[in-house]
Amino acid sequence: MNTKDYDLGPIDIAWCPGCGNYSILNTLKQALAELKISPQQLVVVSGIGQGAKIPQYFKTNYFNGLHGRALPPATGIKAANPNLTVIAESGDGDMYGEGGNHFIHAIRRNSDITNIVHNNMVYGLTKGQASPTSELGFRTPIQVSGVVSQPFNPLSIAIALDASFVARAFAGDIEETKKIIKKAILHKGYALVDVFQPCVTFNKINTYDWFKEHTYYLDNKYDVTNRIDAFKKAIEQNNLPLGIFYINKNKKTFEQNLKTYKQNKKPLYKRQIKMDRIIKLIKQNK
């Protein structure tokens, strides 16, 4: 397969020239092509925002849901058909703000989905208000004196909850981001990939150059199974680590834990629904 297999033909893309979302889109297409995941096998679930538009810009099955609500339908889709590759993908506001509660509980459930977050540290679509990951002091037309609330740290939350795969990437580095996304997709269980994504229009602080100057990659000696070290790395400030922070391969997935799949491996969507049985259950509950 190659990236052309995911092209939709001539389409209007509503992202600004230079936006980091283009790199994430290209990187994702490359990762999927290299993993030989066809558009038919794939479902991308997103919420609302600039990053959340991504599934509209390439060939895939997709569900574009309410703001902050990408993870519940992604969990449901994977449970109904575990044979699909399911990616939940949106911006930092959508996943960590409006969808923050779902973020926490998706980690607890450990459904076998990949959660890619376009983290531009701003609300891009609604024209530049602060998001949960905006830095202290970040000025916007709403936060005129600068952000006063501590930024949300998604990686430390994920590691604290023993998420089974936690990583951070930078949209400006396609090769490294592709490696991380491929590993996240292949991982069995919930996989978070927070991607630093420059918003060239509404975030003039966290630019391509800023990310290059304020990030570094975890080295080969770093042990991804050490949760305490992962947490220490996640709370580092100023110079921000990139790469895979933490992997726990010992957790069962949500789908494996479901009683229905312990009894019968047939995907739920392929099973016959016996109406008389449903009516009986409804009557019993009266």
Sheet hosting strand 240-247, strand order edge to edge = 61-64, 42-46, 85-91, 114-119, 191-196, 165-170, 240-247, 215-217
140 binds ligand TPP (CB under 6 A): no
- Sign for the pseudo-dihedral over CA of 52, 99, 242, 3: negative
Q: Is 244 helix (H, G, I), strand (E, B) or coil?
A: strand
3-state helix, strand, coil in the chain (%, to 5): 40, 15, 45
**Distance from C-alpha of 286 to C-alpha of 283, rounded to nearest angstrom:** 5
What tokens does 173 get?
A: 């580095």
Can residue 39 be called a binding residue for ligand SF4 (CB under 6 A)? no
Q: Which stretch binds ligand TPP (CB under 6 A): 28-36, 44-52, 186-194, 233-241?
A: 44-52
The single residue listed with the structure tokens 């991504």 is 54
- Choices 92-100, 153-161, 206-214, 236-244; region in contact with ligand TPP by CB under 6 A: 92-100
92 binding ligand TPP? (CB under 6 A): yes
Site mask, Mg ion, residues 70-89, x = CB under 5 A? Answer: --------------------
Q: Which of residues 95-114 bind Mg ion (CB under 5 A)?
A: none
The least distance separating ligand TPP from the CB of residue 82, rounded to whole angstroms, comes to 28
Taking the least distance from each CB to ligand SF4, the nearer of 86 and 199 is 199
- When asked if residue 248 is in the footprint of Mg ion (CB under 5 A), the reply is no
Residues 108-147 contacting Mg ion, CB under 5 A: 120, 131
108 versus 212: smaller Cβ distance to ligand SF4: 212
The 10 Å Cβ neighbour count of residue 102 is 23
* Rounded least distance, CB 175 to Mg ion, Å: 24
Tokens coding 4? 């052309």
Smallest separation (angstroms) from Mg ion to the CB of 133: 8
Least Å distance between CB 117 and ligand TPP? 9
- Which residues, 6+ apart, have CB-to-CB distance to 217 below 8 Å? 176, 241, 242, 243
Q: Which residues bind Mg ion (CB under 5 A)?
A: 91-93, 120, 131
Q: Which residues bind ligand TPP (CB under 6 A)?
A: 48-51, 67, 90-94, 98, 118, 120, 122-126, 131
